[in-house]
Amino acid sequence: MNTKFKDFLKKDYVKSGIICFTIAFLSFIYFVVKGEGFFVLTNDFNDQQIPFTIGLHNALLDSGITGFSWDIDLGTSTMDGFSFYELGSPFFWISMLFPANAFPYIVAWLFMLKFSFAGVFSCLYLRRFVNDSKWAVMGSVLYAFSGYSLVNLLFYHFHDAICFFPLLLIGLERYKEKKDYKFFIFTIFLNCFINYFFFVGEVVFLVIYYLCRFVSKDIKTMVLDAVKCVVCGILGVGMAAFVFIPNIIFISGNPRTGEFSGIISMLTTDVQNYLYILKALLIPGETLTEISAVKSQSFASHGFYLPMVGLGLVLAYIISRKKDWLSKILIYCLVASFIPLLSDLFYMYSAAQMRWWYMLTLMAALATVKMFEEPDVKAIGAGSVIYLALIVVLAVAANHLDMIYNPKRFYILVAVAIFGAVLTYLYAALLKDGYRVVFTSLIVFSVVLMTATIHIYRTCAWMDYKDYKMRFEAAVQTELPSSQYRLNDTMNLTSMVAHVAGFSNQSSTDTNSIRDFEDLFDYYAQVTAIPKNDIPGLAELLAGKYFYAFDPSVGVLIKELPTSYKTMYLMERGACPIGFAADSYITEDELRKLDVTQRAIALLDSVVVDKAGTTDELYTQVTSDLPEKKAEDIDFETSVSDYVVEHTYGSVLGFEKDGHGMKCVTAYDKDTYVYFSVPYDTGWTATVDGEKTDIIVSGGMMLIKVPAGNHNVEFSYITPGLKLGTLVSVLCWMLFLVFTFALRNDKIYT
């Protein structure tokens, strides 16, 4: 073997990468083989992570990052819809080397890479604080396979933040040590680009880290230094502005964005939440879909447990080094975990849900390996006793409050935590030169815990593996005969794998105007869309013509879709086209007078126009041109199928759509308003024969006026804020490159 390669393999961070990859490989490989390469878990992983990666892949091939994805719910900006998920992920861009629908076959291997790089980058950070880098290798395993990483297997894209966060701290450390501005700026850019949501939390943590680690009595120097850090931050964020600015514009109108509810109300929470936080800190993390105690299910990211060692040595470190900067950070984070006012600050009060705990686990891993390297036997004993006592308190309290839902699993986890705590005490306090034994035990714990987590996630899936794969295989074969209709199927998997417009119903980041449309039906949910088939006429209004069936006799057969398990059939039934003529209007106030079950039929009868969402000029124009319908005027004797026939006759012609927008031809015998069941946002521009025309917002959807005769109508889409963001990014990159190359001299670093 080449000497240089041997030397490379001996490097601490390379060892970390190899070891973490091996642990992940041993944990995943059984399930990969069992699935014949096709890897799934459950819930959000199956419903969002797999289809969203495929959907993003297809959207980028269609129109790049500037366009519109028809696959997300009723349609959403590619940038807005996918940035929170994977647009900035280096691992996603690796997946682009493969066909889009190959993702379920490579996702497990990409997961292994994520764990590997989490090990590499955390090792590079941790080795700065230990005398022997072997402890940094151990700490990297503690970080990469913490309870946070395991419970969040469900959220594949969270692991990008876990991977690259240590680089941000390394950037700050290098800036402080060597005045290495450029590396610090680049790490800010990288983390901001990878995921804007997690980046916000990382910035808050970076401020806490700076204040605890680099606080100085020389106020003038510290303020000047802080200003320099802020300037670096602005430049780094500016370099990522082509992603950051559009997404800030988007989330500013998203109802999921939190609101500060007041200091007093956020100082405390209820007993159940306190106990749940304590549970997550003390014992191995559990699958979010099936929890054994305190809560039966929760999709918040409460996971912390460091494999084998738990919290014992962290407490020991705090006891022995109370005034140390790391102790201050740990104390702050642990206290903040129990106070919503401090915890939710990490994500600007948008329900942090402990999604910042990966930062805490890195600090805890550092404290743990420092205690292993320089053991304080008395402190280790005290920390271990406190840790064990807290576990007992947890078990007694959960039992007393009748909050144990799976006693067998809960007490197994309690036993694992106790066994690990005792073992850790023996290793740290009594065993000299026992690094290999300790590390081997840690690896075994990591493999067992991760394998068990994957297994439980897979066994509590809401959809059987075979059913999921069957739908995947059917979707791969799906093509819709007409682009002016949608697939009436609520699974993200089917519409995104088939790459067709559909009714997908699981997204945190669909177009904000979809929420406005759903509000017409008194519906709001943070992630799931309104069930289109539960309200009479709604699926028909929204062009849901095509659907899947196992029985070809339930509709008009379009195509047989043979799969590995059963034959599925693509069917069709009556539905309105995406674009059709409207001949009357109803106000939102009048619409709300009707029962929710009648409102979709009312919208089949008349488009909704509301003064609050329309300029005075447009509102006056529409209400002058179209007759108004009151709630009592709606003809409920007319069947949904009759409305479908009417709107099919009033359809636009030659309808085509892609990632850049949609176009069609109109041929009405008089001036006509045309309703498009496509969500509006400010990125849309409409033209008639090349001349710009006004878009009227109709309950979140779009309405335009076209003159009589034959006309070419075109809607073009570009993500709001993208032009400004790109301009800012170009300017900031130019500044960065000038700073890095043109002004490269010793003065910069002094």
pLDDT tens digits along 523-550: 988 778 899 999 999 999 999 999 999 9
Query: From CA 198, how far away is CA 192, in angstroms rounded?
Result: 8
Whether residues 600 and 683 fall in one domain: yes
Bridge-based pairing of strands 567-572 and 544-549 is antiparallel
Whether residues 447 and 570 fall in one domain: no
Chain centroid to Cα 341, Å, comes to 23
Identify whether 632 is part of a domain: yes
Backbone φ and ψ of 494, nearest 5°:
-70, -45
Whether residues 53 and 150 fall in one domain: yes
Whether residues 144 and 177 fall in one domain: yes
Whether residues 437 and 514 fall in one domain: no
Query: From CA 325, how far away is CA 214, in angstroms rounded?
Result: 8
Query: From CA 437, how far away is CA 445, in angstroms rounded?
Result: 12
- State residue 108's pLDDT score: 97
- State residue 744's pLDDT score: 61
Is residue 715 within 8 Å of residue 616, measured between CB atoms? no
Identify whether 250 is part of a domain: yes
Whether residues 164 and 293 fall in one domain: yes
Query: In terms of pLDDT, which residue wins out, 722 or 505?
Result: 722
Which segment of 107-111, 222-226, 382-386, 556-560 scores lowest on mean pLDDT? 222-226
Give the pLDDT mean for 309-335: 96
Whether residues 180 and 322 fall in one domain: yes
Is residue 553 within 8 Å of residue 574, measured between CB atoms? no
Whether residues 207 and 348 fall in one domain: yes
**How many CB atoms within 10 Å of residue 740?**
15
The two tokens of residue 392 are: 């007992």
Query: From CA 728, how far away is CA 734, in angstroms rounded?
Result: 10
pLDDT tens digits along 674-702: 999 999 999 999 999 999 999 999 999 99
Query: In terms of pLDDT, which residue wins out, 256 or 305?
Result: 305
Chain centroid to Cα 538, Å, comes to 28
Bridge-based pairing of strands 76-77 and 607-608 is unpaired
Burial of residue 322 (CB within 10 Å: 0-12, 13-18, 19+) is: exposed
Identify whether 727 is part of a domain: no
What value does the mean pLDDT of the chain take?
A: 93
pLDDT tens digits along 34-79: 999 999 999 899 999 999 999 999 999 999 999 999 998 999 999 9
- State residue 261's pLDDT score: 60
Enclosing domain of residue 545? 478-485+499-578
pLDDT tens digits along 638-660: 999 999 999 999 999 999 999 99
The two tokens of residue 370 are: 């420092």
What DSSP designation does 567 have? E
Chain centroid to Cα 353, Å, comes to 13
Asked if pLDDT for residue 598 goes beyond 90, the answer is yes
Is residue 141 within 8 Å of residue 30, measured between CB atoms? no
Among residues 457, 458, 444, 454, the alpha carbon closest in space to that of 22 is found at: 444
Q: Is residue 674 within a helix (H) or strand (E), and if so which, with residue range?
A: strand 672-676
Chain centroid to Cα 221, Å, comes to 39
- State residue 750's pLDDT score: 35
Query: From CA 269, how far away is CA 353, in angstroms rounded?
Result: 13
Burial of residue 699 (CB within 10 Å: 0-12, 13-18, 19+) is: buried
The two tokens of residue 557 are: 């057969």
- State residue 749's pLDDT score: 38
Whether residues 444 and 516 fall in one domain: no
Whether residues 175 and 65 fall in one domain: yes
Greatest Cα pair distance in the chain? 92
Give the pLDDT mean for 362-374: 97
Identify whether 494 is part of a domain: no
pLDDT band at 349 (very low <50, low <70, confident <90, very high): confident
Query: From CA 200, how far away is CA 223, in angstroms rounded?
Result: 22
- State residue 742's pLDDT score: 66
- State residue 584's pLDDT score: 95
Whether residues 539 and 564 fall in one domain: yes
Out of 542, 562, 578, pick the residue that ends a domain. Answer: 578
Out of 524, 552, 578, pick the residue that ends a domain. Answer: 578
Identify whether 493 is part of a domain: no
Asked if pLDDT for residue 714 goes beyond 70, the answer is yes
Q: What Cα–Cα distance (Å) separates residue 349 from each residue in 257, 345, 354, 417, 645?
A: 8, 5, 12, 32, 48
Out of 578, 604, 626, pick the residue that ends a domain. Answer: 578
Give the pLDDT mean for 607-634: 90
pLDDT band at 254 (very low <50, low <70, confident <90, very high): low
Among residues 45, 28, 32, 40, the alpha carbon closest in space to that of 86 is found at: 45
Identify whether 742 is part of a domain: no
- Total count of domains within the chain: 3
Is residue 672 within 8 Å of residue 705, measured between CB atoms? yes
The two tokens of residue 659 are: 């990632």
The two tokens of residue 427 are: 């290793």
Residue type at position 446 = S
Asked if pLDDT for residue 260 goes beyond 60, the answer is no
pLDDT band at 511 (very low <50, low <70, confident <90, very high): confident
- State residue 398's pLDDT score: 96
Asked if pLDDT for residue 350 goes beyond 80, the answer is no
Among residues 34, 9, 16, 14, the alpha carbon closest in space to that of 466 is found at: 34
Which ranges in 179-256 belong to alpha helices (H)? 181-194, 196-214, 219-239, 241-251
Identify whether 729 is part of a domain: no
Residue 531 CB partners (closer than 8 Å, separation 6+): 490, 505
Identify whether 47 is part of a domain: yes
Asked if pLDDT for residue 610 goes beyond 90, the answer is no
pLDDT band at 312 (very low <50, low <70, confident <90, very high): very high
Whether residues 593 and 640 fall in one domain: yes
Backbone φ and ψ of 674, nearest 5°:
-115, 130
Q: What are the beta bridge partners of residue 463? A: none
